[in-house]
Structure 1
Amino acid sequence: MAFALPVWFAVQDELGQEEADRGALSPFHHLDDEALFQMFHLSRTCIAFVTDSVRLRMKKLPLDTRSLSVDSVVMVALNYYAHGASSAAVLQRAGLSPADSGSIINTVSGVIAGMSDQFVSFPLTRHARASVAFRVEKLCGIPKVLGVLAPAHFKIRASPYDKDTFRSFVNTLGYTSVVSQIICDSDGNILSVEKCSAGSTFEQDLWDSSFRGREMENELHGSYWVIGGKGYHLSKHVLTPVSEPGNDSEARFNEAHAKIYDVMRTTLGSMKRRFRCLMQLGFAQEGSLNNKSNIIKACCVLHNIAIKFSVPPPPIAGKIERLLPGKQHSAPVEVDPEAVKARQKLIKENFSAVCSGQDTSGSSSSSSSSADENL
């Protein structure tokens, strides 16, 4: 994923005469950088970039008989993402009442989620795939990997009086959540975010029904893998750990797999520290999760933008939340023998006693390029 300064300049160019239309300064222009970060968990430059990007898509938001500035409504939404609620001070500065905040947050979240096609990008070109795979192999030694695949669970509230709906939201750790399918790269950039389903949904079901999963399994991205946990089935494109390692090579592979898979845990932990709304998304009903989905996607967009602007997340408070253990179907799963052979070939070529001492940091360019030769 790359945009940084070129996109920034493009945004400024497109704004052009709109700067004159904006007129008044942001209601938060007088705050110092530390106060801004405490309020929004983003830097001043990052906030300006996000606001200008939203302005291109929504000049003004009508509310009752008034028209509100884009600056004001974006600030209300960013404050909600950062803390899980819009503070009275922010609402007062924006000239809004608490009753206004819900509809504003939903509207702004929809706009920022719609920016995911620009700021959340799966590697689609030969060069992009080779670049992502190179960095993964440099980190863990596993070649031909396009990212880390995991179900991301976000707590919600559900009414226990509707027992069927309530049970559908209960995940493997026993709390109610919604789950989205996320893929990240070795640097923690979100490459793909799809689906928003009740927390009891199986990971494999998410993958099978997802746009990205169908693309990968239909060979649209070549002979690459994504790293998946135990809740996924081993396939030609989802690389899972060996359930019972039978030798040192398989043990070394599992260690490498755990190392790259842990990047997802760190990434989600960073997102939840920066955007505390993800710690509790409020009440949800099955079949009407669009607003929750937009908030999750908006936070993914903002997470990637924050990385590009080198804005650190707030410091860690307590333990980083672990990824949920995989939810597996009770019926036995028939493993694709071709996928098993492919994984064994990968292990033999990269994690045998001979290979384990070799420097693989520069080998991924050739292996990644060869994966694209038949595209």
Structure 2
Amino acid sequence: MAELAFFEDVARQRIRRERIFREHTDLLANGDEWLISRFRLSRAVLLELCAVLGPALARNTRRNNAVPVPLQVLTTLGFLATGTFQRELADRSGISQPTLSRVMPDVLGGIVSLTHLYIKFPYTVVEQANKKAQFAAMSGFPNVIGAIDCTHVAIRAPSMNENAFVNRKHFHSINVQVICDADMLLVNVVARWPGSTHDSFILRQSSVGRRLEAGAVRDGWILGDSGYPLKQWLLTPFANPQSAEERQYNISHTQTRSVVERTIGLFKGRWRCLDRTGGMLLYRPEKVCQMIRACAVLHNMAQLQNVPLPPGAEAACVRPDPDPQPQAFQPNGAAVRQRLAVMRRL
């Protein structure tokens, strides 16, 4: 009779299965080389990041098995660094896939909230002087405060406005605007436009573009490729150079602007979830944009602390591939470019 009652209880689901908690792994106990290879940041930087995000990520719960803040942060960074499926990363960390899916948005949001501390466009005279000195030391091109380009992050075809996300290379993506300095620090990142959006439109609609157009920078230039319009504050190459001075200007311009191509390569090499060689991101566009912004903050954190890339993580330098659109220009921008072309130091 007892056995019969037992099986009846099982059939009626009266016996509650005992929850089994896996032991949480102390990932920070490992050395720098191991941590950088998996999370792209050194132990010191990871500890600082966990301390900053801790108050927002600590769970108010009486349970003894809440996911520790370092485990939340490092598992999320593991995804950004590799683009590996969530289930595999969760298994490595000793948590479940649903748990990782639940904590990731909070970690990403916390990192993005640090944007104002790590990504700053040089609007002040002092900031601009520093950027100009960096570029001049690198290539000799004067008065440069940044180099601009866009890059595509591949995504799964979204359920809404699917056609808007198909770029000119015929895959679905987010078109991301990047402006960097000579040290490959990101000074502006715009991640909110679908892949079909033209680079120049993104700049025109961005806060940096609007402020520069309004005269926020009086004596400094951004360098862009031929897909951007020539302006007094945005210098592009000569489409058809007619003189030795113009050809030399184009050579100097290309050499200087190439830093943004290397920066994008480093950015995607460090955070492989953004690189198409790792496949597309299988998330809604809004979440992908959040991931891109978080990666931008983390990129600058790594650069400022001189954290190296692990062997094999380098991405190929992004080749210049301007959007095929006739170049527009402002007369005063053309005058600035022509005057610069005849300067002997170029």
Alignment TM-score, normalising by the size of structure 2: 0.84
Deviation at 1:67, TM superposition (A): 3.7
| The 10-residue stretch of structure 1 (97-106 or 234-243) with the greater mean CA deviation from structure 2 | 97-106
Cα 1:65–1:107, aligned 2, differ >3 Å: closer, same or farther? farther
Deviation at 1:149, TM superposition (A): 0.9
CA distance in 2, matches of 1:175, 1:211: 27
Cα 1:172–1:261, aligned 2, differ >3 Å: closer, same or farther? farther
| The 10-residue stretch of structure 1 (138-147 or 28-37) with the greater mean CA deviation from structure 2 | 28-37
What secondary structure does 2:193 align onto? strand
Q: How does 1:157-306 map to 2 (within 5 A)?
A: 157-158=156-157, 165-279=161-275, 280-283=279-282, 289-306=285-302
Structure 1 residue identity aligned to 2:149:
A
Cα deviation 1:220-263 (Å, max 9, x = unaligned):
12231111112111111111111111111111111111112211
CA contact (8 A) 1:61 1:68 kept: no
Structure 2 residue identity aligned to 1:312:
P
CA contact (8 A) 2:123 2:216 kept: no
RMSD: 2.6
What secondary structure does 1:60 align onto? coil
For 1:146, the equivalent position in structure 2 comes to 145
Deviation at 1:92, TM superposition (A): 4.2
Deviation at 1:88, TM superposition (A): 5.6
2:339 is aligned with 1:345: yes
What secondary structure does 1:222 align onto? coil
CA distance in 2, matches of 1:313, 1:271: 10
Cα 1:28–1:61, aligned 2, differ >3 Å: closer, same or farther? farther
Structure 2 residue identity aligned to 1:80:
F
Deviation at 1:272, TM superposition (A): 1.4
Q: Structure 1: any 5+ residue segments left out of the alignment?
A: 1-24, 357-375
CA contact (8 A) 1:26 1:71 kept: no
Question: Number of residue pairs matched?
Answer: 319
CA distance in 1, matches of 2:129, 2:218: 11
Cα 1:317–1:36, aligned 2, differ >3 Å: closer, same or farther? closer
CA distance in 1, matches of 2:60, 2:76: 13
Cα deviation 1:37-63 (Å, max 9, x = unaligned):
22212211121122122225443388x
Deviation at 1:206, TM superposition (A): 0.2
2:80 is aligned with 1:84: no
| The 10-residue stretch of structure 1 (33-42 or 234-243) with the greater mean CA deviation from structure 2 | 33-42
CA distance in 1, matches of 2:331, 2:89: 58
Q: How does 1:94-173 map to 2 (within 5 A)?
A: 94-158=93-157, 165-173=161-169
Structure 1 residue identity aligned to 2:233:
H
CA distance in 1, matches of 2:60, 2:237: 49
Q: How does 1:24-63 map to 2 (within 5 A)?
A: 27-60=26-59
CA distance in 1, matches of 2:305, 2:250: 34
What secondary structure does 1:104 align onto? helix
Instruction: Select 1:335's aligned residue among 316, 329, 344.
Output: 329
Deviation at 1:274, TM superposition (A): 1.3
Deviation at 1:151, TM superposition (A): 1.0
| The 10-residue stretch of structure 1 (225-234 or 79-88) with the greater mean CA deviation from structure 2 | 79-88
CA distance in 1, matches of 2:82, 2:315: 18
CA distance in 2, matches of 1:61, 1:303: 31
CA distance in 2, matches of 1:90, 1:319: 22
Structure 1 residue identity aligned to 2:184:
G
Cα 1:69–1:226, aligned 2, differ >3 Å: closer, same or farther? same
Cα deviation 1:41-99 (Å, max 9, x = unaligned):
2211121122122225443388x997432111101111111111266675246442112
| The 10-residue stretch of structure 1 (249-258 or 137-146) with the greater mean CA deviation from structure 2 | 137-146
Cα deviation 1:83-127 (Å, max 9, x = unaligned):
112666752464421122223222211110110100111123211
User: Larger radius of gyration, structure 1 or 2?
Assistant: 2
Structure 2 residue identity aligned to 1:348:
V
Cα deviation 1:255-288 (Å, max 9, x = unaligned):
1111122111111111212111112452355xxx
CA contact (8 A) 1:239 1:343 kept: yes
Cα deviation 1:195-235 (Å, max 9, x = unaligned):
42111100111011000101111111223111111211111
Q: Structure 2: any 5+ residue segments left out of the alignment?
A: 1-23
Deviation at 1:137, TM superposition (A): 1.8
For 1:17, the equivalent position in structure 2 comes to none
